[in-house]
Amino acid sequence: MTQQPIVQLRNITKVIRGKKLIDNLNLDLYPGQITGFLGPNGAGKTTTIRMLTGLMYPTAGEVIIDGQSLKTHYEEAISKVGVIVENPEMYKYMSGYKNLLHFARMHKNVDKTRIDEVVQQVGLEKRIHEKVSTYSLGMRQRLGLAQALLHRPKFLILDEPTNGLDPAGIREFRTYLRKIAAEEDVAVFVSSHLLSEIELMCDRIAVIQNGQLIDIREMNSEAETVYYVEATPVEKVEEVAHALQIEFTQREKGLELQLTKEHVPNFVSVLVAQNVAIFTIQPQQKTLEEQFLEMTGGGQIAETHTK
């Protein structure tokens, strides 16, 4: 990644009543990229989010947002941040537009043109002048996204943004979020316990356990992938795998091989040279849930709350 990070967590440590909740955490968040934040119960996700939003100060280290430290230049740094927590609070007796007008007054240089822009970005043009009390949960969530975007933040924090939404609402929210991350070049940080949603929504994930960052990985870019092969005679396939030092596991109709994408053509050409008939060869990528359980030793994911 050649871009400069929008957010930098530098050697963040948090100690409360003698207990180290966050231990020397370092993380960079980049413009236009959505980073998922996962961790078992009590791993430190909520504490990290509180420090990112300025609700809590680190015991050591610092949070830098767009070049400004939250510690020394709080107002300048926090002005670059937008936050959406689970079920954002809105004035239900007012229209969506009047809600945005109210929140716009809290920021400098947010005019009606900008309000119209964010309304269009989250797809609420047809319903924006109706009372929020008539909105579905998905629409309220999108209105919350519009509110968080009013002041053109460079960093967007979402805490359980799809909690309570039905599958259609989740898909809709995800579509708008990806569009906004790309169009506004915002660094997005999403904490959620819905692994399947994180897998679809995010460009990469950061995993925290016992207050330490244990893994950061790009989505769908594991160096080693499992490939499933159906071919006959299977004994020949096993011989070739042994000769090429490829680990494999027998399955009902074929073999699963630990094989990188780059080595697939060579593997296939060797099989063909050995007169092996190949019926199927396809990647069997591990789900995020399987990867997460491997990384954390089976720890449960917590729901985080910053309210």
* pLDDT at site 131: 95
Please tell me the predicted confidence (pLDDT) of residue 301: 52
What's this model's pTM, rounded to 2 decimal places?
A: 0.73
Q: What is the predicted pLDDT for the residue at 8?
A: 94
Name the token pair of 60.
């050591």
Q: Pairing between strand 204-209 and 187-191?
A: unpaired
What's the pLDDT tens digit per position in 245-303?
888 888 878 888 888 778 888 888 888 998 989 888 887 766 666 665 666 566 555 44
Chain centroid to CA 303: 14
pLDDT at 302: 47
Report the pLDDT value the prediction gives residue 285, as an integer from 0 to 100.
Answer: 64
* Peptide linkage before 233 cis (omega within 30 of 0): yes
pLDDT for the residue 93: 93
First CA to last CA distance, the chain: 33
Cβ(28)–Cβ(7) below 8 Å: yes
Question: Which tokens sit at 275?
Answer: 């007169």
Taking only the tens of pLDDT, the chain with its 307 residues reads 458 999 999 999 999 999 999 999 999 999 999 999 988 777 888 899 999 988 899 999 999 999 999 999 999 999 999 988 766 778 899 999 999 999 998 888 889 999 999 999 899 999 999 999 999 888 998 999 999 999 999 999 998 888 778 888 888 888 888 988 988 899 999 987 777 778 788 889 888 888 888 877 776 555 457 888 898 988 888 888 888 888 888 887 888 888 877 888 888 888 899 898 988 888 776 666 666 566 656 655 544 443 3
pLDDT value at residue 59: 94
pLDDT of residue 219: 63
Find tokens 């236009």 and name the residue: 32
Look at residue 303 in the predicted model and tell me its pLDDT: 42
Q: Which residue is listed with tokens 């985080």?
A: 304
Give the domains, in start order, of the chain with CATH numbers.
7-218 (3.40.50.300), 225-283 (3.30.70.260)
Longest CA–CA separation in the chain, Å: 74
Of 161, 168, 219, residue with least CA distance to 188: 161
Q: Are 163 and 260 in contact (CB under 8 A)?
A: no
